[in-house]
Amino acid sequence: MASSKREQLVSTALALFYRDGFHATGIDRILAESGVAKMTLYNHFKSKDELIIAALESRFAPAAERMARAFAELPPRDAILRVFDGLDEWLRQDEFCGCAFINAAAEFHRRDHPVHQLAASYKAATQDYFRGALERLGVVQPERLARQLQYLMEGAVSMAHIEGPADQALDARDAAEQLLRAAGV
């Protein structure tokens, strides 16, 4: 039962943080929407920051699993481009409110803050998948191209958040294909 209350808190908090922002979402609102008692919350989390980290980690794990599966099952070039296809599907969802990790890093801008560090870890993990695929393809300077691919991805997410979803991910995919061709793969 206790673990289900914890999961309920994390799930409710994640939805509210993602939709309304981390600082704008108060503990009382999370408690009201989750139906969990304040004492239960503080039995699981010492602070709001701990709850934020747990909420982001709950989003990190499934995203990392999807990425790992794509990069394990597909040839490296196809896996890279599949990221942009998946991105297009995500950006077009009605509940899309930008990237939770970018949003978190923006609200917790100090690089030494644990929330910012978690966001940075997520972004580094994404870049590592690109780099690994590029290394398997024998690309010269795989780190540099991995960064460039991530910039395309992050730019598409940011612009979809600002403009509303359109073809940002498809445009980024086209640019990624051009970069891959220029790299000889």
> How far does the chain reach from its first CA to its final CA, in angstroms?
52
The full set of domain ranges for the chain reads 5-183
Tell the CATH superfamily of the 5-183 domain.
Answer: Tetracycline Repressor, domain 2 (1.10.357.10)
CA–chain centroid gap for 119, Å, is 8
Q: Which two tokens stand for residue 1?
A: 């039962």
* Distance of alpha carbon 37 from alpha carbon 58, whole angstroms: 21
Work out the number of other CB atoms within 10 angstroms of the CB of residue 109: 10
Q: Per-residue pLDDT tens, the chain, 185 aa: give them.
A: 457 999 999 999 999 999 999 999 999 999 999 999 999 999 999 999 999 999 999 988 888 888 888 889 999 999 999 999 999 999 999 899 999 999 999 999 999 999 999 999 999 999 999 999 999 999 999 999 999 999 999 999 999 999 998 999 999 999 999 999 999 99
Q: pLDDT digit string (tens) for 81-117?
A: 999 999 999 999 989 999 999 999 999 999 999 999 9
pTM, two decimal places: 0.88
CB contact at 8 A, 66 and 85: no
Q: At what angle do helices 76-91 and 142-163 cross, to 10 degrees?
A: 10
